[in-house]
Structure 1
Amino acid sequence: MRELKSIFNFMKGSKFIYFLSILSIILATFFTVVGPLLIKTTIDSIIGNKPIDSEQLAKLINFLGGKVFLKNNIWIIGIVLIILTILRGMFLYLKNTLSSKSAENTAKSIREELYDHIQKLPYEYHVKADTGELIQRCSSDVETIRRFLAVQFVEVGGSLFNLIFVAYIMFNLHVKMALVSMAVVPIIFVFAFIFFSKVQKIFLEVDEAEGRLSTVLQENLTGIRVVKAFARQSYEIEKFDKKNSQYRDLTFKLIKLLAWYWSISDFICMMQIGAVLAMGSLWAAKGQLSLGTLVAFITYESMLLWPVRQMGRILTDMGKAIVSIGRIEEVLEEPIEILEENHEKPQIIGNISFRNVYFGYEDKESVLKGISFDVKAGETIAILGPTGSGKSSLVHLLPRLYDYDSGSIKIDGIELKSIDKKWIRKNVGLVLQEPFLFAKTIRDNIKISNPRLNDKKVFEAAEAASIHNDISSFDKGYDTLVGERGVSLSGGQKQRMAIARTIIVESPIVVFDDSLSAVDTETDIAIREALNERRSKSTTFIISHRISTVQDADLILVLDNGKIVQEGTHETLIKEDGVYKRVYNIQSSFEDNIEEVNI
């Protein structure tokens, strides 16, 4: 099976340990099956008068003092049985320890490879990915595989060798009785495989239902402030209850299948034990079977049937593990982003040229259609346009989060596609509309790109982003923990921290993707003034819907339906009929009305 092969690939470095655990369970099985043989010999040949029919046991009896001596000191047999039990326990302990160690190492290897692979997946994948599903695959699915390797998979070897040892001894003791004792073994095996084939689909459904439940929980906890702000608690509870009920119903369906398997297999096994007792007693009464042999067969029957019944549990857990490894492989099979190590790493100054650039998502209609413009290093370019006009798509091409379909983008005369992705991203600072902050201190968040930066740099970046005074007002200042996703800060504060985090890098190209929308007009002006003081250091792109934010730019691009419909400075665009002038008139009228109300 491809999934099991994948598990073995993940076990690199732990296969030998796992082999030792299988060897340990083989030895434990050996010491287990020897006990009934010794009891049978004691009843038939030491207490009774039958000759010992095993050369190895005969040697053991002679070593212990012979039949007469042992008959007078029967307690010695008890000591030998205790020693066999201790040896069995020691090897079972080794089996559990070694298999658990191997399983933990394998789970660690899977988690590391998953995490590494997810980090290398392209930006486009993460835009569409379901976070709850990814968490489910990195946690619950990995745990399912770990548990299977630690507990069940090694039992396959134990059950197999147990079956071989017991069957060999049974047929050596009494062929007819062995056939009676093993009559239902093929039936239980077939039943276990049929059950496995039926239950595997249910496992997948249960796993996916749990993933959907995790997604709802993750979204709710992340957006709990929005839920409370809009009094959506009842709706969210209902949504969670619906997913929870689906998960419960599927799990209950799985439990019913497991109950059918165990009850039916229990019935078959009890019938088998009954047949052994009936036939064994009959043959023993007729003198065709010794009492010791009957006792041995009754003991071996339990040893035989329990591991065979366990095959259902093993196959059940194997089904879960196969489903889990399949879900993990779905992530690992996603093509990673190719970072062209052999591409150019030029010094970036900030001269940018777009020529007839077209771009669309996944072979769909182009979002950008024939975009052309030129920017000199240190200039500020503002982009304005209605929602869906392609503003964010345009600036996301600069750090190569996406690659354009046709046309040309040159940075300092070098084609963008020929520049190494890691290199260009180090030289393009991107402030997104929805900033993400880590659950760290404010200082750590600001200098996350380079933890070695000194506090002076941190303070300068915070002042440029107009957040320094806010931070200073906190009890712990820059050592304040911002909480998960920056939950302890306002939207404007988070946005300004994200701006400070980008400014501190001093990238030659900086992009503000509508990231000034969360700050008030006064703060917006302060940030832009700080940026104007640094404008010789960076080519700056600003996406905004505010005319006041874009009016000082060296070049303003107005996008509509993926095309540049207007371009120029603020002074030239307000004289032209078009989108820019209409937006300017609306916003100016609105501001005038506010001033009249304040007066």
Structure 2
Amino acid sequence: MKNFKKLLEFMEGYKLIYLLGMISILISQMLTTVTPLILSTTVDSIIGEKSISSPIIQSIVNLLGGKELIKERLWIIGLILVFVAVLRGIFLYLKNTLASKAAENTTKKIRDRLYDHIQRLPYEFHVKSETGELIQKCTSDVDTIRRFLAIQLVEVAGSIFMLVFILYVMLTLNIKLTLVSILVLPITFFFSFIFFTKVKKNFEASDEAEARMTTTLQENLTGVRVVKAFSRQEFEVNKFDEKNLDYKNLTYKLIKNLSLYWALSDFLSMVQVGCVIIFGSYLTYKGEISLGILIAFTSYINMIIWPVRQMGRTLTDMGKAFVSLGRIDEILKEPIEVLEENHHEPKIDGNIEFKNVYFEYEKGKPVLKDITFNIKAGQTIAFIGPTGSGKSSLVHLLPRLYEYNQGSIKIDGIELNTIDKAWIRKNVGLVLQEPFLYAKTIKENIRLANPSMKDSRVFDAAKIASIHEDINSFELGYETLVGERGVSLSGGQKQRMAIARTIINNSPIVIFDDSLSAVDTETDISIRKALKERQNKATTFIISHRISTVSEADLILVIDKGKIIQRGTHNSLINEEGLYKRVYNIQNSLDDEVINL
């Protein structure tokens, strides 16, 4: 019931269209049930001598010229059957059109809402989630719901109506034969219900296996250059084959269960038809029913068996749809990140104070411990330390990608967690270690945050990032398409484009999260010099493993295991025993070896 309410919520605005589709199928089913009555009346009362008991049918016969005239011109009955079939076809067309329109609009609404919700989920959610599974939920799961809405759900109303209406007609014709006709129906329905409850887990397992296979495929296509570089094709093929085999086995198990259901339900259906024909023939022989009634019953029994048999498929499809709806609802239940919290939107100059800051991803496992430092607007602070020491986690607190657990972070004297996330992120430029470029032109990528930015600003940002000359060397210049994920550019070019994209906004705070590692030392120096010389000099955070990159910073913090173990300028730290001096000596000796070569 809960899932059905959620489905109705998504259908808001399209319920009337769906209702019209259901009305269409009801009329269509009614016309279907009329055909056996026409044949029965023809055999018994037109060709035969039995009187017509129904006043309505008698009125129609009189309107057509009477029994004798129709008997002489049986083609009239043929025309009536054709007319009924055409009319039924029209309402079937309306049913399909209206149900499909409502289903497509509903699933579009689901996709839009799902995509919009995913965009608004916090950074932490995306870090932990598997991309392939999210893609699966946005595509396959939504399509499962679409098929159920377009095909199965609208059929439920028609099947129930047909079942009730036909049973009523059969009871008016002969009670004994009706009771025989429905003898196996409860068994068939019960079997369908049991099957649905059992097969639901198979559908879930199959969907999850498909999600794992999709994730593997997505990872491989994303990292195909790494696969080629390390000649890992065979390993990747085997890994995909394992996931594909798992998906195949689980899906095959599901198909076997479905095959078993249809085989057994076919057997039960044939038993039911056999009982009706045998008992009906006996009643006809005894004179309790006419031949026309037997013909009507043999038609009706097939009509009521099919909806009951389909109930199993309807229930399984409903199960699949509700499983998919539940998987989608898992995402929709995830709390979105509130970017505009009606907090402060102060003018940000870039004075930053960390005081006794603690941060943890998992409770009881702190990543940052007692972080304290001050930096004035326009100054540069650098972080150096082993991999996994907490440097990136620290700078990710500034744009509020994560929230600190204890302590205080103040920007220009205002507590960071009282400033709107949307506002702080407009004022903090973050250049990540692994830049992501869209399959657009170079110009579109650089001015991504502000598509209306003037070309002159784009060129200035590219010059500061030392990428302007490289871009002009391309045949199409700034109109060059970079390819998916920037595949047509070198690692250094992508990194510099990401830097240009960030600094074009003149943010008062800029963070380089080990993002200068992909550029050579000369380019590194050129970028840092250009940043220092530009107007509206920003407060700059630099994470790097390269001493030459951090050496000119106003303050250098050495971090290890989440703690600040050293602090000072380059000159003070190289004269102090510790990690910084060891790294400095190692890099200097390596540089000397390169020069001697």
| Letter in structure 1 aligned against 2:312 | G
Show CA shifts across 1:326-384 (max 9, x none): 11111111111123431110011111111111111132421111111111111111111
| Letter in structure 1 aligned against 2:87 | L
Tell me, what secondary structure is at the counterpart of 1:366? strand
Instruction: Give the whole-Å Cα distance in 1 for the aligned partners of 2:177 and 2:116.
Output: 58
Structure 1 position 36 matched with structure 2 position 14: no
Q: Residue in 2 aligned with 1:362?
A: 362
| Letter in structure 1 aligned against 2:11 | M
Map residues 322-337 of structure 1 onto 2, 5 A cutoff: 322-337=322-337
Tell me, what secondary structure is at the counterpart of 1:360? strand
Q: Residue in 2 aligned with 1:565?
A: 565
Equivalent pairs counted in the alignment come to 597
Identity of aligned residues (%): 64
CA contact (8 A) 1:378 1:535 kept: no
Instruction: Give the whole-Å Cα distance in 2 for the aligned partners of 1:434 and 1:114.
Output: 27
Q: Residue in 2 aligned with 1:457?
A: 457
Tell me, what secondary structure is at the counterpart of 2:298? helix
Q: Residue in 2 aligned with 1:289?
A: 289
Instruction: Give the whole-Å Cα distance in 2 for the aligned partners of 1:394 and 1:424.
Output: 16
Structure 1 position 309 matched with structure 2 position 348: no
Instruction: Give the whole-Å Cα distance in 2 for the aligned partners of 1:309 and 1:475.
Output: 65
Map residues 85-234 of structure 1 onto 2, 5 A cutoff: 85-234=85-234
Q: Residue in 1 aligned with 2:528?
A: 528
CA contact (8 A) 2:430 2:513 kept: yes
Map residues 334-349 of structure 1 onto 2, 5 A cutoff: 334-349=334-349
CA contact (8 A) 1:38 1:57 kept: no
Question: Shift of the alpha carbon at 1:525?
Answer: 1.1
Show CA shifts across 1:378-411 (max 9, x none): 1111111111111111100100001111111111
Q: Residue in 1 aligned with 2:261?
A: 261
Tell me, what secondary structure is at the counterpart of 1:524? helix
Instruction: Give the whole-Å Cα distance in 1 for the aligned partners of 2:486 and 2:63.
Output: 76
Tell me, what secondary structure is at the counterpart of 1:367? strand
Show CA shifts across 1:207-236 (max 9, x none): 000000000000001101100100000000
TM-score (norm 2): 0.99
| Letter in structure 2 aligned against 1:508 | P
Instruction: Give the whole-Å Cα distance in 2 for the aligned partners of 1:239 and 1:341.
Output: 45
Question: Shift of the alpha carbon at 1:534?
Answer: 2.5
Instruction: Give the whole-Å Cα distance in 1 for the aligned partners of 2:245 and 2:390.
Output: 41
- Over aligned residues, Cα RMSD in angstroms? 1.0
Instruction: Give the whole-Å Cα distance in 2 for the aligned partners of 1:270 and 1:184.
Output: 10
| Letter in structure 2 aligned against 1:61 | V
- Structure 1 regions of 5+ residues with no counterpart? none
Q: Residue in 2 aligned with 1:67?
A: 67
Instruction: Give the whole-Å Cα distance in 1 for the aligned partners of 2:265 and 2:139.
Output: 33
CA contact (8 A) 2:431 2:515 kept: yes
CA contact (8 A) 1:380 1:535 kept: no
Instruction: Give the whole-Å Cα distance in 1 for the aligned partners of 2:364 and 2:531.
Output: 37
Q: Residue in 2 aligned with 1:378?
A: 378
Q: Residue in 1 aligned with 2:16?
A: 16
| Letter in structure 1 aligned against 2:95 | K
| Letter in structure 2 aligned against 1:241 | D
Structure 1 position 46 matched with structure 2 position 36: no
Question: Shift of the alpha carbon at 1:557?
Answer: 0.9
Question: Shift of the alpha carbon at 1:536?
Answer: 4.5
Map residues 451-490 of structure 1 onto 2, 5 A cutoff: 451-490=451-490
Tell me, what secondary structure is at the counterpart of 2:343? coil
Show CA shifts across 1:30-73 (max 9, x none): 11111111111111111111111222211211121221221122
| Letter in structure 1 aligned against 2:456 | K
Show CA shifts across 1:427-480 (max 9, x none): 000000011111111110000000001111111111111111111111111111
Tell me, what secondary structure is at the counterpart of 1:357? strand
CA contact (8 A) 2:392 2:513 kept: yes
Tell me, what secondary structure is at the counterpart of 1:359? strand
Q: Residue in 2 aligned with 1:351?
A: 351
Q: Residue in 1 aligned with 2:300?
A: 300
TM-score (norm 1): 0.99
Map residues 516-595 of structure 1 onto 2, 5 A cutoff: 516-534=516-534, 536-595=536-595
Q: Residue in 1 aligned with 2:434?
A: 434
Residues 452 and 536 of structure 1: CA distance in aligned 2, closer, same or farther (over 3 Å): closer
Instruction: Give the whole-Å Cα distance in 2 for the aligned partners of 1:519 and 1:247.
Output: 43
Tell me, what secondary structure is at the counterpart of 1:374? strand
Residues 512 and 535 of structure 1: CA distance in aligned 2, closer, same or farther (over 3 Å): farther
Show CA shifts across 1:214-271 (max 9, x none): 0000000110110010000000000000000000001110110011000000011111
CA contact (8 A) 1:41 1:292 kept: yes
CA contact (8 A) 2:357 2:368 kept: yes
Instruction: Give the whole-Å Cα distance in 1 for the aligned partners of 2:3 and 2:160.
Output: 21
| Letter in structure 2 aligned against 1:479 | E
Tell me, what secondary structure is at the counterpart of 1:369? strand
| Letter in structure 1 aligned against 2:69 | F
| Letter in structure 1 aligned against 2:369 | K
Q: Residue in 1 aligned with 2:445?
A: 445
| Letter in structure 1 aligned against 2:405 | D
Instruction: Give the whole-Å Cα distance in 2 for the aligned partners of 1:341 and 1:250.
Output: 46
| Letter in structure 2 aligned against 1:483 | G
CA contact (8 A) 2:506 2:536 kept: no
| Letter in structure 1 aligned against 2:29 | T
Map residues 230-245 of structure 1 onto 2, 5 A cutoff: 230-245=230-245
Which stretch of the first structure deviates more once superposed, 283-292 or 62-71? 62-71
CA contact (8 A) 1:368 1:562 kept: yes
Give structure 1 regions of 4+ aligned residues with deviation exceeding 3 angstroms.
none
| Letter in structure 2 aligned against 1:17 | I
Tell me, what secondary structure is at the counterpart of 2:366? coil
Instruction: Give the whole-Å Cα distance in 1 for the aligned partners of 2:369 and 2:83.
Output: 83
Show CA shifts across 1:514-540 (max 9, x none): 000111111111111111112742100
CA contact (8 A) 1:462 1:468 kept: yes
Instruction: Give the whole-Å Cα distance in 1 for the aligned partners of 2:528 and 2:137.
Output: 44
Tell me, what secondary structure is at the counterpart of 1:361? strand
Map residues 402-421 of structure 1 onto 2, 5 A cutoff: 402-421=402-421
| Letter in structure 2 aligned against 1:569 | T
Tell me, what secondary structure is at the counterpart of 1:398? coil
Show CA shifts across 1:148-179 (max 9, x none): 10011111111100101110000000100111
Q: Residue in 2 aligned with 1:394?
A: 394
| Letter in structure 1 aligned against 2:223 | G
Instruction: Give the whole-Å Cα distance in 1 for the aligned partners of 2:193 and 2:233.
Output: 46
CA contact (8 A) 2:508 2:536 kept: no
Instruction: Give the whole-Å Cα distance in 2 for the aligned partners of 1:535 and 1:391.
Output: 28
Instruction: Give the whole-Å Cα distance in 1 for the aligned partners of 2:519 and 2:35.
Output: 80
Question: Shift of the alpha carbon at 1:304?
Answer: 1.1
- Structure 2 regions of 5+ residues with no counterpart? none
Question: Shift of the alpha carbon at 1:113?
Answer: 0.9
CA contact (8 A) 1:110 1:142 kept: yes
CA contact (8 A) 1:379 1:535 kept: no
Tell me, what secondary structure is at the counterpart of 1:25? helix
Question: Shift of the alpha carbon at 1:300?
Answer: 0.8
| Letter in structure 1 aligned against 2:204 | L
Tell me, what secondary structure is at the counterpart of 1:56? helix
